[in-house]
Amino acid sequence: MEVVASAPGKVLISGGYLILERPNAGLVLSTNARFYAIVKPLYEEIKPESWAWSWTDVKVSSPQLSREATYKLSLEKSTLHCTTSRNSVNPFVEHAVQYAVAAARRNFVEKGKKDVLEKVLVQGLDITILGSNDFYSFRSQIEAHGLPLTRKTLATFPSFFSITFNTEGWNGTVSRSCKPEVAKTGLGSSAAMTTSVVAALLHYFGVVKLPSSSISLTEQVSAELNIDMVHIIAQSAHCLAQGKIGSGFDVSAAVLVVNVMFDSHLQFFLLLRSVTRSVLKGSYSSWLEPVLRARANESNSNLEWTLESSLSSSLD
């Protein structure tokens, strides 16, 4: 069985750290740039002696970064121990895996089905992570090939293109004191990645059942508990990996948002302006009024509204 879950990035319109204090409000939109987490068994067959194991294997691959990390996962404590170089690990992924496994264990133990989870875990976990090109800057590659810095040039790049690292100092010289870093665009890659890994694992374990496509408002309400679990675990893992507690808006945007789809850009920005005013005034319910009015206008064939989870998954 293979599970693929995705979560979007974000763009902060207003808010920032001010929203940590009431009654300040913020507005964040999700993007069409998404992170994808693919989870499948590391081993196809379960060895007879595996039931006596206290550890299982976990492999995390990031093809875009040409990185692969392997771990031993404690079946008792749900902790990870890296068996490869620490240079290839990602703290956001590590905490996402540990928290998702711990939550799954708690869930199955409470139901008296601990052996069901262990049967899945002893097969190992093979996790592959991919991010949309929009999360990263490809300026170095473009300039190295003498190409123009335009959207048209970026569009020629294949999906999930290989990522370069920042190795230059502020004056253009190679920095030996700093670890090379991925050049990012600020769309919330760590939050989207953490959320996609948590969602994929919980769906893979059977703890939650995520929507496979856009769903209606009624179906959204029935799935609320599943989404809440993903949200809580992703927020916790992200905070621990970050080493601080922020507003959490980036993870929230990766889990659940309101999506607005228009054929007309003018209509979109007019309605967005109305929504923004309501949110900034603290009217957390009144901003839905223009949505309902637009929905009721059946003659407007260019408008479609869906309240949906940002998360999506597929199951093979």
Taking the C-alpha atoms of residue 253 and residue 208, their distance in angstroms, rounded to an integer, is 19
CATH code, domain with 82: 3.30.230.10
Domain check: are 79 and 202 in the same one? yes
If asked whether residues 178 and 47 sit together in one domain, one would say no
Identify which of 8-17, 46-55, 232-241, 254-263 has the greatest average pLDDT. Answer: 232-241
Ordered DSSP codes for 171-197: TSSBPSSS--EE-B-SS-HHHHHHHHH
Whether residue 262 contacts residue 275, with contact meaning beta carbons closer than 8 Å, is answered with: no
306 within domain boundaries: no
Q: Are residues 102 and 251 in the same domain?
A: yes
* Domain shared by 87 and 197, yes or no: yes
Q: Please compute, for residue 312, the number of CA atoms within 13 A of its CA located in the half-sphere on the CB side.
A: 12
Task: Pick 261 or 255 by higher pLDDT.
Answer: 255
3-state secondary structure of 208: coil
Closest C-alpha to 106, from 64, 80, 78: 78
155-187 pLDDT, tens digit per residue, is: 888 888 888 665 554 444 544 444 556 788 889
Mean pLDDT value across residues 15-30: 78
Instruction: Give the predicted TM-score (pTM) of the model.
Output: 0.76
pLDDT at 234: 93
Range of the domain at 76: 3-133+187-258+311-315
On the 0-12 / 13-18 / 19+ scale of CB atoms within 10 A, 94 is buried
Residues 18 and 145 placed together within one structural domain of the fold: no
Instruction: Tell me, yes or no, whether 169 and 72 share the same domain.
Output: no
- The token pair that represents 10 in the structure block: 């974000």
Q: List, in sequence order, every residue forming a beta bridge with 261; answer none if it has no partner.
A: 304
Tell me the per-residue pLDDT of 283-308, one tens digit each, with 9 for 90 and over.
434 444 444 444 444 333 333 333 33
The DSSP symbol for 177 reads S
Q: Which amino acid is at 233?
A: I
125-131 vs 165-166, strand pairing mode: unpaired
Cα–Cα dist 38/128, whole Å:
5
- Most distant pair of Cα atoms in the chain: their distance: 66
Are both 101 and 230 inside the same structural domain? yes
The reply to whether 270 falls in a domain is: no
pLDDT tens per residue across span 68-115: 999 999 988 889 999 988 777 899 999 999 999 999 999 898 888 888
